[in-house]
Every structure is written in C-alpha cells, then in structure tokens.
Amino acid sequence: MLAVNIDLVPRITWMGFVSYKSPWIHFKRNVNEYIMYLIKSGELHMVEDEKEYILKKGDVLLLEPNLDHEGLEKHTCDYYYIHFKHPDIAPVNVEDPESFARRFIFEDQGADEDVKCCFPKHFTITDKSVLSQIYNSLNEMLQLYRRKNYNRSLTALKLSELFILLSRESLLEELQNSRKRTTKAIVKAHGLLDYIHTHYQSKITSRDIEALFECNFDYLNRTFNKLTGHSITHYINKVRIDQAQELLQATHLSIGEIAYLVGFGDIYYFSKVFKKYAGLSPAAYYKKIREEE
C-alpha cells in the first residue's frame, strides 16, 4: 500500500492515451518519476524490479522512480499513462482494513495530521460506474493538459482528486472481497455519507434512507456509528451545523435564512440544535465571530 500526501500537489511531466491495435511490447527504461497506468482494454504485461504484473481492463499500476521496468509480452492494449513527480509518497503497512475505512474513507483524521490517501501499487476497479467516472476524469485531464499554461495546475489538482477516488475505491474493493455481510453494510454506509453531504439541505428520514439503500435503518445505523463514531442523525445534524457556522462566518444572512439553507424548517429547533453542537446560540456565535474580526 502506498500513502500519498494530498496536501502536496503533484507535478505532471507527461500524460496521454495510447491505443495499440497491433500487438506491442513496452520498451525497457528507468526514470526518476512516478508513472501511473490505467488500463481501458486489452492487456499490458510489465515487470518492475523483477516483479511481474499482468494488467487488464480496470487495472491501475503505479511504477516508482529509479526502478527498471519493461514489457514482457506483446499484446493489444488501450491505456492512459501519467508521468508525475511527488515529494511525499511512501509505503504503508495496512493490517486492519476496517480501521482504514474509518480513518480514510470516513475522514476520521485530526485537523493537525497530514492529509493522506492510500491505495495499493497494483489493484483492479470492478465497479463499472466508477470506471466510467475515472475515464471521464482522465479525458478531462487530457483536455486540460493539452492546453498547456495555467491549465497544467488544474490538471495537477485533477490528479490529486483522482488519487482520492482511487484510494476510496481500492479500499472498498478490498473490503468487499473480505467479510461480505459486514462489507455490504460498510459500502452502504459509505454511500450514505456521500448522500448526507449532498442532501443535508433537504429533509432526510429513516424511511427515506431505508428505501434508498435497501437496508434496515437500525442495522445501517449501527455500522455507520461504528465507522464514523456518530449515529446517522447526529452526523446529519453535525454536517448541517458545520455548514451553518460557515455561513455565519462568511455572510450576513439572517439566522432564519441560514436555518432554511442548512435543512431546518423551524428556526427555534435550529437554534436549539446549534447550541447543542456549537456550545453557543447562533446569535451569540455570530456576535463572537464579528468581535474577533
């Protein structure tokens, strides 16, 4: 497993897409940068530092700097490649995938920690919708890269975004291949996490969640609590109050307007929940922020 510090932006030196319709074998080389391959179709047989890899559709391989690599056999293949430099990528030992899910998928890192995402050197993405998302992202990166100039910075940020996506998906794939029943609930909890961040402004009920995720609410709630440290209801309120605090800091909207924007229909209930989570009423919080400016 490799850990990438995504607080640091990679520098892309070269990227592209190739489609070999006739059998082709990769040439031998040794470079002082990382190379990521993402296979769209066909096969690519590689060896790096005497370790062999047979890459097929959905496979991701990260070649490391200053190691010999070359092809092993001739095959037809369509793949994306990204050459880049990054100052903080290091191997990490993962003994407990579920604790990894808690820390990295469910964002349970302290604010003072380096922000890192982790994925294996070689892994396969089997989810068709995720693959489609990755290919679309790569095509967008290619368009930006080819326009040069300031778009290179945007392309590098897109690569950081890709690291995060690959990290989450590789871990989910690993979990899905282990304890099936528990893993299925973990995947649903992961989907629920994204759903809450996208729909916190709307009413979210236990019945809605059961229908959307086809899972008993109490069972999903226990799994969600285990992985995030919060019940579903607590997490929804936490997201809403976090957003409310940002709006109080950055805008001059009324408390009633902010309550509505973060999913509360009742201003008095909003004030009660806000004080419970923030330790101050919305009005007192707003006053405190303005006094500190």
H-run or E-run covering 37? strand 34-42
Domain boundary among 156, 172, 188: 172
Residue 103 scores a pLDDT above 80: no
Are 52 and 128 part of one and the same domain? yes
What mean pLDDT is predicted for residues 150-160?
Answer: 85
Are 126 and 259 part of one and the same domain? no
What is d(CA 197, CA 189) in angstroms, rounded to the nearest whole number?
A: 13
The tens digit of pLDDT for each residue in 172-216 reads 776 666 655 556 777 788 789 889 999 999 999 999 999 998 889
Are 194 and 147 part of one and the same domain? no
**Residue 105 belongs to domain with CATH number:** 2.60.120.280
| Structure confidence at residue 109 as a pLDDT band (50, 70, 90) | very low
| Structure confidence at residue 101 as a pLDDT band (50, 70, 90) | low
What is d(CA 77, CA 27) in angstroms, rounded to the nearest whole number?
A: 14
Are 227 and 239 part of one and the same domain? no
The tens digit of pLDDT for each residue in 14-70 reads 999 999 999 999 999 999 999 999 999 999 999 999 999 999 999 999 999 999 999
* pLDDT given for residue 110 in this prediction: 45
What is d(CA 190, CA 73) in angstroms, rounded to the nearest whole number?
A: 39
Residue appearing with tokens 């402004």: 201
The tens digit of pLDDT for each residue in 214-239 reads 889 999 999 888 877 899 999 999 99
CA neighbor of 183 nearest in space, from 191, 2, 164, 205: 191
- Is residue 5 classed as helix, strand or coil in its secondary structure? strand
Are 144 and 27 part of one and the same domain? yes
Are 252 and 164 part of one and the same domain? no
Angle at 231 between CA 230 and CA 235, to 5 degrees: 65
Are 66 and 46 part of one and the same domain? yes
Report the domain count for the chain. 3
Q: Where are the alpha helices (DSSP H) in the chain?
A: 97-100, 128-146, 151-176, 180-199, 206-213, 217-228, 232-250, 255-261, 267-278, 282-292
* pLDDT given for residue 111 in this prediction: 44
In this structure, what DSSP letter does residue 85 have?
E
Are 168 and 189 part of one and the same domain? no
List residues bridging with 18 in a β-sheet: 79
In which domain, by residue range, is 279 found? 235-292
